[in-house]
Structure formats: C-alpha cells, structure tokens
Amino acid sequence: MADESERAVQAAIAAEMRLLDPAVRAVPGLVSELLDPEFTEFGASGRRWDATSILTVTSAGSVDPESPVEVSEMSGVVLAPGIVHLTYFTDDSGRRAWRSSLWRLTETGWRMYFHQATLAS
C-alpha cells in the first residue's frame, strides 16, 4: 500500500509541476488536461477562480517563460484512494506564497480539483 500511495503522490507532484511550467501554461489544451471540470481556486489575490477563468488568464500570456516560479518544500499525502493533497511554497519573482492543491484521479489521469494560495511574508 505504501508503494501505491507513494506512486499517487509522485504522480500528483509531477502533474502540479507540469501545471507550473510556463510552456504548459501557455497552451490552453495542456492546462485543461490538468484541471478537473469542477476545479476551483482561491488565489493569493483573494479572487475565486474556476477552470474557464484560469484558462483565460493562462492563455493571455501572463506567465513569463524567462522567470519560472521557484518551488520548494513540496510534499503530499494520500487522503483517500485517488485523492492526493499537496502543499508547497512558491516564489514568483519575490511574490511568495504557501500553496495547497487537491488532486483526484479520473479516467483521464490526475487532475487538479482545488487549489489555494496564501501570500507569505
């Protein structure tokens, strides 16, 4: 069971890192493959996002490919079969945030169901 849990956590981490990749974020189809249709995010801005609004922002070229987000302290835990909770810290050109994501396994693979970012000093 530990191997299965570790594989689930590693798959969710790999998907999270893909979603943070500027090259992936620039392609709406790739982002869409990683977001659950019921996706919700409470952003560091305080705004509530859904899959459609996130796709609008990422496809608008708001991500600088020359300045990727720095990620640290990534860890995950399986909450239930097919549900992984990830937590980590990001630094996006000095804008620092704690992040939390819920990933669920679907027929098409791991997809982000929920994300929250909280600004850090």
> The pTM is what?
0.90
The pLDDT confidence band at residue 66, using thresholds 50, 70 and 90, is: low
Tell me how crowded residue 3 is: count the other CB atoms within 10 A of its CB: 7
pLDDT digits (tens, 9 = 90+) for 1-42: 679 999 999 999 999 999 999 889 889 999 999 999 999 999
Residue for token pair 């600088």: 64
The pLDDT confidence band at residue 55, using thresholds 50, 70 and 90, is: confident
Q: How many domains does the chain have?
A: 1
Contacts of 59 (CB under 8 A, 6+ apart): 26, 27, 28, 31
Provide the residue range defining the domain that includes 28: 2-119
pLDDT digits (tens, 9 = 90+) for 96-120: 999 999 999 999 999 999 999 999 9
Q: How far is CA 20 from CA 31, 32, 68, 71, 86, in A?
A: 10, 13, 8, 9, 14
CATH number, position 68: 3.10.450.50
